[in-house]
Structure 1
């Protein structure tokens, strides 16, 4: 089993028009540990109302990545990864954000961000999510969400790694199978690629992207990423969502 993958984070017009940096962040790649290969995908979205949500998103992804690598090196098998271990990844990410906040004299909430992640091995996978955005996988020719985006009590609100109740809002799923295709994306895309009335993913969006990625001659990280940047920045996409947009795509090759 080998993975072909690509990813992109583009700054939304709402930030660009104000001369601000985007607040999304992602980390994705395949890693070989002992005789096994794993795909890891992470994406985070800094809260738009914060001063340092983008930095929080970066810290959350990078910390979770290191925790996952450490777990895989120790356990070597996703069947041994427990819910408590996954909660530990989230606690470590929150603690790392807290350390940054303390060092800069800011509050934890200034770094508020969502976090979604997937770790996939040969025949197992684990998924986790706090907040909105989503993970979509292919199954029997259909595209299904692992978790539905979580919304807060009010419009355009959600839940964050920095929240005191983050572990209560953490969704975890263990799968005894490995998806052939997977996409992770932040909330800047969710209204475009999900049907909220039917709670389904739009196959017409995902299928052509996965097909293009699969046809790309590169192995591992695909040169298709440049085209993905341009696609996410297109005027028709931006007209439907002026938020930052992150999309991670991966297929088993």
Structure 2
């Protein structure tokens, strides 16, 4: 099987009102290497209280994506990736952020960002996360979260790749078979599509989106992407969450 996917980020009203750029970043792609199909999804949310959270988010995603690609091209199977190797990937991404901060004469914490990652093959799925945002997976019968968004001691706080104790907040999970459908999103969407009181997923949000993605002729910027962008920029959506919003959707497609 392979994966059909789309990814998008929209800038929240809290930033556009101040004429600021968005601070979310994502990278997703499907590829075939040596007759094996892979799907990679990385998303990051730069801390809104920082000056360069968006820069940190971009560096974290791009560095991690390149490390995973390198491992795949070297013949690494996802099922053989250990938790320590995942921690090494994330540590190297953090080092890339540290290097950029030093180069620019800035503090590392000015580049604070969360990190969410998914790597899947036809028979295995690897998930990891630091901070809030979420990974939702399932099929038309229902959806669940891999990790619940992790928040800090106080409201509106979470954990970041740039924290000194980041290793303590890396959550990792493995699944022997990949889900049929998967969504990755940053915290700008979590209050809209998750019920925090019951710790459940609003299936009614995801089910039609996955169905629409399956009917799209290809990946990328089709009518569904345009529809989702319009939806996430609507005033009533921004009234409930004025933060940046990143969403990655993927569905598996059997290969005949």
Q: Does the aligned pair in 2 maintain the 1:43–1:61 contact within 8 Å?
A: yes
CA distance in 2, matches of 1:221, 1:36: 21
Residues 82-121 of structure 1 mapped to structure 2, 5 A cutoff: 82-121=82-121
Q: Which residue of 1 aligns with 2:196?
A: 196
Match of 2:122 in 1: 122
**Residue ranges of structure 1 left out of the alignment (5+ in a row):** none
1:169-191 deviations in Å (ceiling 9; x for gaps): 00000110111100000000000
Deviation (angstroms), 1:2: 1.8
TM-score when normalising by structure 1: 0.97
Q: What's the CA shift string for 1:66-118, capped at 9, x where partnerless?
A: 01111122243111111111011100110000000000000110000000010
- Cα drift, residue 128 of structure 1: 0.2
Instruction: Give the structure 2 partner of residue 243 of structure 1.
Output: 243
Aligned length: 252
Distance 1:143 1:133 in 2: 16
Change in Cα spacing, 1:221 to 1:3, as seen in structure 2 (3 Å) is farther
**TM-score, with normalisation over the residues of structure 2?**
0.96
Following TM superposition, by how much is the alpha carbon of 1:227 offset from its aligned partner in structure 2, in angstroms? 2.0
1:221 is aligned to 2:220: yes
Give the Cα separation in 2 of the matches to 1:17 and 1:27: 26
Q: CA RMSD in A?
A: 1.1
- Say which SS state the counterpart of residue 169 (structure 2) adopts: coil
Please tell me whether the aligned partners of residues 101 and 108 of structure 1 are also in contact (alpha carbons under 8 angstroms).
Answer: yes
Q: For each residue in 1:130-189, what CA deviation from the matched residue of structure 2 results, as whole angstroms up to 9, or x when unmatched?
A: 000000001571100000000000110000000111111000001101111000000000
Q: What does residue 144 of structure 1 align with? A: 144
1:49 maps onto 2:49 in alignment: yes
